[in-house]
Amino acid sequence: KPWNGGTLYALEECPFSGAHKDGAFAIQFANGAIHAGCHHASCGGGAQRWPELRAMHETPAKKEAPGAKTGAPGAGGNATPGSRGAGAPAAKIPASEGVEDPTPPPDEYHKRALEILRTGDALAFILNTFNKTHVGDRTVAECLALSIASQSIENTNGLHVAISGNSGKGKTHACTTMLQQVPEEYRLAGTVSDKALYYNDSLQPGTVFLFDDVSLSDDLQEVLKAATANFRVSIQHQTVTTDRKLQVCRIPERCVWWLAKVEDAGDDQVANRMLTVWIDDSFEQDARVLEHMKDREAREDDDDSEDADLPVCRAIWRILKEERLHVSIPYAKRMHFTATANRRNPGILFDLIKASALLHRFQREEYDGGIRANRDDFAAAARIYEAINGKVGGQETKTTKNEAAALETVATMGWEQFTIRMLQEALGLSYHQTYRILHGYTNRGTTYSGLLEKCPAISFFDTTVAGDVDGYAIRRREHLFSFDAAVYRRWAHGGGVWLDEDDGGDRDGGPDPCTFAAGFMQVCTTCCKDQTAENGVGSTGTCTDREKCLSLSTELQQNTHTVAGAGSGVSECACVCESQNGASDPVIQPIRAENTDRILFSRPFTDITCCKVVQSGAKRGPVLQESLPGVLDHRTFSRVRVDLGRCDICGKGKTVYRSQEAQAGICEGCYARLVREWNAKAGVR
């Protein structure tokens, strides 16, 4: 087939080794030069071996034939690979000198790749190389890398990836950046017709298909389903030629599919076969990307040159593709899941464990024909599985990021019934966007499901509302949605997985969401999230976790503003308690020298009141019309059923939510504003 202006020949059998048959190739360039080699490590990993191949087929009599130039280098260099070179003229360019190498110094890259696989962390190297070009989205990169690794595992169903997120947030860039690490002969990107893949004779087993922002037709979705369901074997398509003769076309085995799209990439059956992951479109990620762009534009060297680590990554994948290994999971019977209704998801976790083991194949215990995954592989896979079932994906729920944010917003607000306008105000989106999140929509013949179809906790009523406008009675139709918080918690928090210890683990035989195997990370999604959900839906929030007292700056204390919803007036010692929550914790402002006369007071918490706010000037009334950013955390508030007076922030609305930690009560509108700010920071737009 054509290759870089020349012709690439794939040899049926490797002439350099009898241990294998595949992997040998020869390239004849446009200038007549020839490069021959074999991809297998035992044969040099692609190094130039044309002189050896030529010597195998040239007889000494032909070399000493009358008329031939004695000592002419590269005799027979223009012969077509596979021919014996009889009567072929001498090459103008010696075969051993000036030959255009299809890959830059393969030996050097191959040795470094082997060293990483044997003594280093291949996955970390691949991810670090990815992050040199693409900022953030580490979990997305892990899913893509493990997807490639799954192609070289004998006992796997393959890992395919569907990435969704808002337009312009880096879905395409993430996929193309990872695709650059794949050897060129194993990648395919762009658009195709419904049956084009069947007729592509150049496709190799283990090819990566990237479909970026492409609406898959019904026929192409059927091809995807057939290819993923029969991952280990090639799939056939029988058709009739113009001569009415049967033609059998094939798509090779072990091809993985990467789909990048704003919304769902296909129907429910397609989504059910994928690792469903979201691109990071938060404000923090926007800031990191902007800094990366500034650094790149400020450089004075050539920014278009290829990263020196990319050829090493390709060498790693070539080594791993040389052999297919069976991977066993010795502790598989001790693994437990919080949800098993979707039978594909446990299989996906098993494949993640196997892919992690394959990337460390030279560091894992071996047996005849395979390797054994260890607990490090379980920890890595469970961490990814937990992430794509929570903050960076909708593996169990199959929701997009905006849909997940809408559900979490309704649960946080404590609504049992709500309208589109109520949800619109809390999300900060347009009415049309909010409508599509709930009802779904159809675009170019493709139907995208909404929450009414995906989530069992939401129901829909078409109601008639009566009102009075300027003395006239008006009736209008309105969509009213009901929400069942208990059903939502059971449905949304089903991505937990844990591993029993050898001594039997949990004595009651059931999952303990707050207990994990010794030495492992927290991989159960039901522990802290359930507590957060319960506190956000009609229950009294108490500080039972590790807490910290966030002291406010002196400037806030000296102003006559209500701080942290402290009722009114100035606080002598204003502080807010917040449960420890990783990256979401605000930074504690240091005490300045000019504030040493004000001693900030804190003591151990002995009851459910986390901190007391000493107020002065209680009769002045509230001044702030909006809460100070970062002071109040909506997750500490819960809905109340008793009359607590006016809102501590605006002083107008009726108090509907109360925080024991902040000792503040706020109205529906102010609470919706807190939730809207939190959604905006999380990238909901």
Of 147, 151, 29, 2, the closest CA to residue 92 belongs to: 29
Main-chain dihedrals φ then ψ at residue 69, nearest 5 degrees: -75, 125
pLDDT greater at residue 327 or residue 516: 327
pLDDT of amino acid 683 = 61
pLDDT of amino acid 106 = 53
- In sign, the C-alpha dihedral spanning 67, 70, 72, 73 is positive
pLDDT of amino acid 183 = 92
pLDDT greater at residue 121 or residue 42: 121
Across 63-72, 212-221, 353-362, least confident range: 63-72
Residue bearing tokens 């493990």:
146
Domain locations in the chain? Answer: 1-102, 111-294+307-324, 326-396+494-535, 417-486, 540-681
Distances from the Cα of 608 to the Cα of 82, 462, 577, 602, 662, angstroms:
83, 42, 11, 15, 11
The pLDDT of residue 610 is above 90:
no
What is the average pLDDT across 411-417? 87
pLDDT of amino acid 530 = 42
Q: How far apart are CA 387 and CA 495, in angstroms?
A: 9
Secondary structure of 492-522 in HEC code, one letter for each residue: HCCCCEEECCCCCCCCCCCCCCCCCCCCCCC
pLDDT of amino acid 290 = 93
Q: Which residues pair with 371 in a beta bridge?
A: 327, 366
Task: Kindly state the percentage of the chain with pLDDT values over 70.
Answer: 71
pLDDT tens digits, residue range 183-224?
998 999 888 888 889 988 888 899 999 998 887 888 888 899
pLDDT greater at residue 648 or residue 226: 226
The pLDDT of residue 563 is above 70:
no
Task: Kindly state the percentage of the chain with pLDDT values over 90.
Answer: 25
Model confidence band, residue 535 (pLDDT cutoffs 50, 70, 90): very low
From the candidate CATH numbers 3.90.1150.10, 3.40.50.300, 2.40.50.140, 3.40.1030.10, the one assigned to the domain spanning 111-294+307-324:
3.40.50.300
pLDDT greater at residue 623 or residue 284: 284
Across 29-33, 140-144, 178-182, 608-612, least confident range: 608-612
Model confidence band, residue 66 (pLDDT cutoffs 50, 70, 90): very low
CB 271 within 8 A of CB 162: yes
pLDDT tens digits, residue range 226-284?
999 999 999 989 988 888 889 899 999 999 999 998 877 667 778 888 899 999 888 88
Q: Across all residues in the chain, what is the average pLDDT?
A: 74
Residue bearing tokens 């961490």:
383
What is the average pLDDT across 419-432? 89
- Spatial neighbors of 495 by CB under 8 A, at least 6 apart, are 338, 339, 345, 385, 386, 388, 389, 390, 395, 396, 525
Measured from the Cβ of residue 621, the count of other Cβ atoms closer than 10 Å reads 12
pLDDT of amino acid 144 = 96
Model confidence band, residue 303 (pLDDT cutoffs 50, 70, 90): low
Which 8-state DSSP code applies to residue 483? Answer: E
pLDDT of amino acid 24 = 87
The pLDDT of residue 467 is above 80:
no
The pLDDT of residue 297 is above 80:
yes
- Spatial neighbors of 465 by CB under 8 A, at least 6 apart, are 475, 476, 477, 478
The pLDDT of residue 494 is above 60:
yes
Q: How far apart are CA 627 and CA 200, in angstroms?
A: 61
CB 131 within 8 A of CB 141: yes
User: pTM higher than 0.85 for the full model?
Assistant: no
Q: Strand ranges (DSSP E) for 534-613?
A: 547-551, 570-573, 575-579
Measured from the Cβ of residue 297, the count of other Cβ atoms closer than 10 Å reads 8
pLDDT greater at residue 50 or residue 616: 50
pLDDT of amino acid 426 = 87
pLDDT greater at residue 432 or residue 47: 432
Residue bearing tokens 């950013």:
629
Secondary structure of 302-329 in HEC code, one letter for each residue: CCCCCCCCHHHHHHHHHHHHCCCEEEEC
What is the dihedral angle through the alpha carbons of 134, 140, 142, 145, rounded to the nearest 10 degrees?
Answer: -80
